[in-house]
Structure 1
Amino acid sequence: MPDTKQTYYVTVANGEISRLSTQAPWDYKIEATEEEITSLREYFDQVYSSDWQGFFRAHVPYLEYHYDRQNDAIDQTNIKIFEMIYELGDEEAKDHIKSQGILKKIEEQQ
């Protein structure tokens, strides 16, 4: 059944998604379908790709952060990642995201 939700453990810093809570330290516990996990992995892949583009762009000293499309792409993708984690996360994940003020949309719902 592809729509069956399973428990996953997510580490945002390195984009890791695991089914095992003991495999590595994790940030958020979520319940997701295979399709949702595929979407989340694609967002992490986008951040990784944009990070490399930003690394090479960093050697162009006259381009400031706020004028850099790669940084805009990373920022937008990170928002999507945290929106997904918030939607799929357990209460602890939701509370942490709210307390950090990570998403303006979530802050407005409080």
Structure 2
Amino acid sequence: MVRIIKFKVTGLGFLSGGTYDNWEEAVANLKDSKGRTGTIIVEMTGKEYYRMVNGYRQKLNELNEMIRKRDYDHKQNIIQQESQYQQQLNQLVSQLKEKDKRCATLAAVVNRLKNKQKSN
């Protein structure tokens, strides 16, 4: 397939500028001998233009899909981390409750012993 894209340098005066087949040539001729800088105009057929736009659109869709997937994965990781944190927190609360029960039992035993000593 033949690509029909031309690069036209304008704005340099009557005899300066020109049309080039590649970008590098156009950039090399962007300034004239008087130091003026021209403008590069890209000329292409309608088919080339639509092919280029569709290529950009396809790449943009791929990048958007990648972003959506990474965002989803990130959210899933956060949910998993929060779940693990909640499990650890529940374990700590359970351990504290168990220790509170032990302390209450020990306090009751100590009180019984004190009462027993007082009564003896």
Higher RCO structure (Cα 8 Å, ≥6 apart): 1
Q: Which has the larger radius of gyration?
A: 2
Richer in helix (by share): 2
